[in-house]
């Protein structure tokens, strides 16, 4: 996986914007960058002019050209400064030319034969389009078994639930969305509103929520007693873990004093790795030795932030096993 695709994967959501006015490209890119969305796909007749303007003004956003049909369009986009190319279908001439120019290209596919054609070209990431018509999540699950080396970007007019359904698939790196910025916001060139809409999209993506509070104890016996007391009083379900005891999913009672002098706070997110990128942009560092990974997907599912809040350590978690209250 090349650097561009890796960064796109870390971001997770990719705004695709039909650019009606090239003068809007830079403030649009700046609004996205302010909200930590550092990738943008431009389409339409003004896309090349917009790409050129963004490349001249900014060096911290991945600017790409979408809906590229044919070699001439690809060449024009790359000449304008496009760092990546997305096509609705797979044209081998476009793919091979982009690869020769060392430009990331993500061709559209909707069948197994097209995936095999992409593999023959040396690609490990393609664009499932149109996703729903191609079979959606079930098709992606079948492709994961048949082509474990292949990764996907997905687009096809999706809402929040569809986005999470796709991103929960291990072979999906990111979703391309045309609805991150509303048509009204773009028509009015309201860049303050654009920032708010972009921030809302990031909030929907990361889905942060408090999942539990960790309580430090000095022994396993003390921790067990505390957990059982909570379960007895409030009808919580008891769970035994190797290093702690849970009272429901809301309280983790540790056998020893853990990170944070007062305990710790567990924050759920469905995508810890994407959350790490987002928080890292805010200056947060992480405790590398605390990282654990999902045994099936190898994706990070747990990491401590290298900070305390009011004496509490803080970690991100996407638990493999979902616990009841």
pLDDT in tens, 141-163: 999 999 999 999 999 777 788 99
Predicted confidence at residue 105, as pLDDT, reads 98
Segment 132-138 shows an average pLDDT of 92
Sheet containing 244-247: order of strands? 238-240, 244-247, 251-254, 209-215, 263-268, 312-317, 300-309, 286-293
pLDDT (mean) for 170-180? 95
Element (H, E) at 79: helix 71-80
What is the third-level CATH fold of 3-205? TIM Barrel (3.20.20)
Inter-residue contact 254 to 223 (CB < 8 Å): yes
Question: Would you state the pLDDT for residue 158?
Answer: 75
Average pLDDT over residues 231-242: 96
**What is the mean pLDDT of the segment spanning 207-229?**
97
Return the exposure string of 104-141: e unless at least 16 CB atoms fall within 10 Å of the residue's CB, then b.
bbbbbbbeeebbebbeebebebbbbbebeebebbebbe
Range(s) within the chain of domains with CATH label 3.20.20.70: 3-205
Residue 325 pLDDT > 70, yes or no? no
- pLDDT tens for 110-128 read 999 999 999 999 999 999 9
Cβ-contact 58, 30 below 8 angstroms: yes
Extract the tokens encoding 305: 């932030």
Cβ within 8 Å of residue 153, ≥6 positions away = 8, 14, 86, 106, 125, 126, 127, 128, 172, 173, 174, 175, 176
Q: Tens digit of pLDDT for each residue in 27-82? A: 999 999 999 999 999 999 999 999 999 999 999 999 999 999 999 999 999 999 99
Q: Please write down the HEC assignment for all residues of 283-324.
A: CCCEEEEEEEECCCCCCEEEEEEEEEECCEEEEEECCCCCCC
Please state the rounded mean pLDDT for residues 190-207. Answer: 97
Q: Where in the chain is the domain with CATH 3.10.180.10?
A: 209-317
Give the class (CATH, top level) of 209-317. alpha beta
**Quick one: average pLDDT of 295-307?**
94
How much is the pLDDT for 54?
98
Q: How does residue 254 score in pLDDT terms, banded at 50, 70 and 90?
A: very high
Q: What is the pTM of this model?
A: 0.91
């Amino acid at each position: 996986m090349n650097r561009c695709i890796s960064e796109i994967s870390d971001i997770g959501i990719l705004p695709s914007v039909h650019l009606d006015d090239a003068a809007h490209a830079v403030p649009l890119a700046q609004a996205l960058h302010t909200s930590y969305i550092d990738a943008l796909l431009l389409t339409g007749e003004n896309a090349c002019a917009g790409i050129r303007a963004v490349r001249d003004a900014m060096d911290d956003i991945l600017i790409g050209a979408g809906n590229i049909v044919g070699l001439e369009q690809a060449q024009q986009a790359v000449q304008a400064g496009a760092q990546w190319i997305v096509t609705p279908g797979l044209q081998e001439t476009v793919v091979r030319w982009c690869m020769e120019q060392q430009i990331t290209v993500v061709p559209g596919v909707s069948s197994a034969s097209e995936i095999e054609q992409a593999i023959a070209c040396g690609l490990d990431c393609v664009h499932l389009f149109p996703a729903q018509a191609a079979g959606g999540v079930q098709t992606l699950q079948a492709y994961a078994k048949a082509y474990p080396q292949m990764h996907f970007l997905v687009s096809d007019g999706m809402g929040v639930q569809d986005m999470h359904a796709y991103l929960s698939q291990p072979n999906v790196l990111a979703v391309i969305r045309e609805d991150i910025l509303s048509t009204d916001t773009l028509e009015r060139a309201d860049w303050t509103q654009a920032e708010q809409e972009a921030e809302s999209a990031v909030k929907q993506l990361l889905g942060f929520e408090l999942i539990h509070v960790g309580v430090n104890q000095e022994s396993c016996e003390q921790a067990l007693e505390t957990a059982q007391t909570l379960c007895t009083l409030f009808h919580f379900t008891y769970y035994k873990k190797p290093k702690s005891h849970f009272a429901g999913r809301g309280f983790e009672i540790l056998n020893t004093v853990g990170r944070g002098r007062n305990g710790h706070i567990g924050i759920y997110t469905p995508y810890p790795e994407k959350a790490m990128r987002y928080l890292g942009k805010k200056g947060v560092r992480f405790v590398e030795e605390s990282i654990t990974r999902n045994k099936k997907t190898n994706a990070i599912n747990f990491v401590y932030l290298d900070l305390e809040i009011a004496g509490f350590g803080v970690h991100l978690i996407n638990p493999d096993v979902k616990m009841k209250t």
